Structure 1
Amino acid sequence: MNNPSSERLVLTADGTHSLYSPVFNQHYHSLHGALQESRHIFIGLGLEPLLQANAPSTPIQIFEMGFGTGLNALLAWQLADRLRQPVTYLGVEAFPISEAEAAQLNFGEQTGQAGLSQLHRAAWGTSQVLSDYFTFQKQHTTLQAFRPEVLYDVIFYDAFAPGAQPELWSEATFAQVAAFTRPGGYLVTYSSKGSVRRALQAAGFAVEKHPGPGTKREVVRAVRL
């Protein structure tokens, strides 16, 4: 009998794994390079500039829409430790992957950062201190049901594409996200569709278009007004 986990596993162009979702007919990362995409958009445009500008003792609060494979969280952990600046991460995921699937991903080898298994084994809804600089929590819930307790400095918006999950790319949903994003905070995402940019603007964000990774023309960083 075939292993469903193996059937979902794909190798992207930069040598980093991703997974395929048959439910949404989508891959979790760009096939042009999973690691390249995450580093460029979520770390390079989102977390890194905030850490560089932030007081070293003040934690950066990250919210991720779509914990998924855990790659963005792993890279945030790596950067926090490298810069020795505290980061508190919370991600929501309505459709978690299995620990067996996570064990097949080659993110540790590709990034040089251990700990992916810790992220996936962590109990849902429980905050855990994983290093001197990285505090982690994931919640098994939808964005619509999520109830924030803090304002976030940066939003990693990594839902499946607007064609697959249109409800997550609407003005109403972005207004919900804007309500728990601090003024001046960032929302970073791979989608630069005109409808997405207009919805973000209507929800209270100033939208910046930035060059994308690899062959991708543009990505978005939105600043909370």
Structure 2
Amino acid sequence: MKRELIQTGDGSWTIQLPDWDEQYHSKHGAIAEAKYVFIKQGLQHKHELGSFLSLSVLEIGFGTGLNALLSLGFAKDHKIELHYTGMEAFPVAEQEWQAMRYPEDLGMPLADFQAMHEGPWEQPLSIDPLFTLTKQQRTFDQLDAEQAFDLIYFDAFGPRVQPELWHRDILEKTFNALKPGGVWVSYCAKGDVRRDLQSLGFEVERLDGPPGKRHMLRATKP
């Protein structure tokens, strides 16, 4: 499938799949979307619920590594230890992640971003004393964790192009993977997804969305 690099509305870059008319991040702003959806409404929200010293995070769709890089920045700024797991069936190519320029845009060390992508898969890698990354190359239906995570970033391609990634069976796996009180966040606000999350037992909030989107979803496991 054809892949192109495009500059988004806030000046940051992402990967576009023109055959699907789909992008890895919002065309209205890759960094802006990630900061708002996954950091502000996810990681910051969860941290503020209990001022945790350590949190375990699962990202469904590691992709370009932008969410992981922003989470590393949050860990350093707030002196919180993060154990970060990123699931990705199809890792991005070296020339693609190198072209993203996220460390430059965020004022963060390039070496950290390189380590995230060049490090081994399927084993923990210490990027920083406060940040351990484990990358798993597998499809989302292979998630089999039980009460292992405090927070899940659900960042799959949208249900318009890959509806199978948003089926109730997949969402149930994420419910099972969360600890009680765990938080699930996504840029998606589709009604079917919201209703499936509620039917699984999540307490679901429809929040204002990032630039270019009206709404997003945040769900909490009781």
Gaps of 5+ in 2: none
Q: Return the letter of the residue paired with 1:176.
A: K
Conserved 8 A contact 1:93-1:140: yes
Offset of residue 52 of structure 1? 3.1
- Give runs of aligned pairs for residues 52-71 of structure 1, distance below 5 A: 52-57=48-53, 59-71=54-66
Give the SS at the match of 1:155.
strand
Match of 1:160 in 2: 157
Q: Given residue 87 of structure 2, which amino acid in structure 1 is its aligned partner?
A: V
Q: Which residue of 1 aligns with 2:107?
A: 112
Q: What pairs up with 1:47-126 in 2 under 5 angstroms?
A: 47-57=43-53, 59-114=54-109, 115-126=112-123
Do the aligned partners of 1:12 and 1:30 also contact (CA within 8 Å) in 2?
yes
What is the CA-CA distance between 1:214 and the residue it aligns to? 1.9
Shift of residue 183, structure 1, vs aligned partner: 1.5
Q: How far, CA to CA, are the matches of 1:93 and 1:24 in structure 2?
A: 19
Deviation string, structure 1 residues 50-96 (Cα, Å, up to 9, x no partner): 22344553x20100000001000000000001111101100100111
Q: Is the 8 A contact 1:172 1:203 kept in 2?
A: no
Which residue identity lines up with residue 51 of structure 1 in the other structure? H
Q: Provide the residue aligned with 2:5 in structure 1.
A: 9
What is the letter of the counterpart of residue 38 of structure 1?
Answer: A
Aligned to 1:133: 130
Match of 2:218 in 1: 221
User: What is the deviation of 1:146?
Assistant: 2.8
Aligned match for 2:28, one of 5, 29, 32: 32
Flag the 1:22–1:121 CA change in 2: closer, same or farther, 3 A. farther
Question: TM-score scaled to structure 2, two decimals?
Answer: 0.93
Aligned residues: 220
Look up the SS of the partner of 1:19 in the other structure. strand
Is the 1:81–1:132 contact (alpha carbons within 8 Å) kept by the matching residues of 2?
A: no
Q: Are the structure 2 counterparts of residues 150 and 204 from structure 1 closer, same or farther at C-alpha, using a change threshold of 3 Å?
A: closer
What corresponds to 1:185 in structure 2? 182
Q: Aligned with 1:130: secondary structure?
A: strand
Query: Secondary structure of 1:163's match?
Result: coil
1:16–1:110: 8 Å Cα contact kept in structure 2?
yes
SS class of match (2:192)? helix
- For residues 135 and 125 of structure 1, the distance between their equivalents in structure 2, rounded to whole angstroms, comes to 12
Q: Is the 8 A contact 2:143 2:173 kept in 1?
A: no
Q: Tell me if structure 1 keeps the 8 A contact 2:146–2:178.
A: no
Q: Partner letter of residue 177 of structure 1?
A: T
Q: Which runs of 5+ in 1 are unaligned?
A: none
For 2:38 and 2:175, how far apart are their aligned partners in 1?
17
2-side partners of 1:122 and 1:8: how far apart?
A: 24
Residue 25 of structure 1 deviates from its aligned partner by 4.1
Mean Cα deviation higher: 187-196 or 163-172: 163-172
- 1:123 maps to a residue whose letter is P
